Amino acid sequence: MPTIILNTTQIKQKIRRMAYQIYEKNWEAKEIILAGIENGGYLLAQRLENELKNITPFDTKLVKITLDKFQPVQTEVMLDVDIEILANKIIVLVDDVLNTGRTLAYSLRPFLKIPVIKLQTAVLVNRHHPSFPIAADYVGYILSTTLQDNIVVDLTNDENEKVYLS
């Protein structure tokens, strides 16, 4: 039976706090790009964008990152916008769970081809099993787990969001 780690209310609180932290570290910005890794990362980026629109004067732009998480070396990392429009911007790379850092590391590839003002990372859950030199700038929840544990973030239903251990 799955163990609930965060319920809907707690997730909303974590996302709101993360949005305030993004605002505090980038208060002089005119625009911030939220680049969410498809599925959970993109859903989290959408939630962060909604919160930022409520609390900040700057514009936000949402970008979807698509990559094969199981074969990131062999496949291209795709963005749903032209990479050139992201040049000289503040970019926050967003994923739902940070485990080894592999997915975030490979997701950086397109952004390393352009000049950026800042490149930051945001995750809802940080599991602390680093295999890559990736750290999250904004973290909703830090959770120590074993490598065999599986953390599932379900943000598909606004009224019944949950993070659970399976």
Q: Is residue 156 part of a domain?
A: no
In a domain, 65, yes or no: yes
Residue 120 located in a structural domain = yes
Residue 75 domain flag: yes
CA distance 43 to 101: 19
**Does residue 157 lie within any of the structural domains?**
no
Rounded CA-CA distance 90/80 in Å is 17
> Which domain, by its residues, includes 132?
8-146
What whole-number distance in Å separates Cα of residue 96 and Cα of residue 124? 5
* pTM of the complete model: 0.93
> Is 29 domain-assigned?
yes
Q: Which among 5, 35, 26 is positioned nearest to 125, based on CA atoms?
A: 5
The number of folded domains in the chain is 1
Distance CA 153, CA 165 (A): 9
Position 155 in a domain:
no
44: domain CATH number is 3.40.50.2020
166 lies in some domain: no
| pLDDT per residue rounded down to tens, the chain (166 residues) | 788 999 999 999 999 999 999 999 999 999 999 999 999 999 999 999 999 999 999 999 999 999 988 777 778 899 999 999 999 999 999 999 998 888 999 999 999 999 999 999 999 999 877 778 889 999 999 988 877 788 889 998 878 899 988 8
Distance CA 64, CA 31 (A): 17
In angstroms, the CA 159 to CA 128 distance is 29
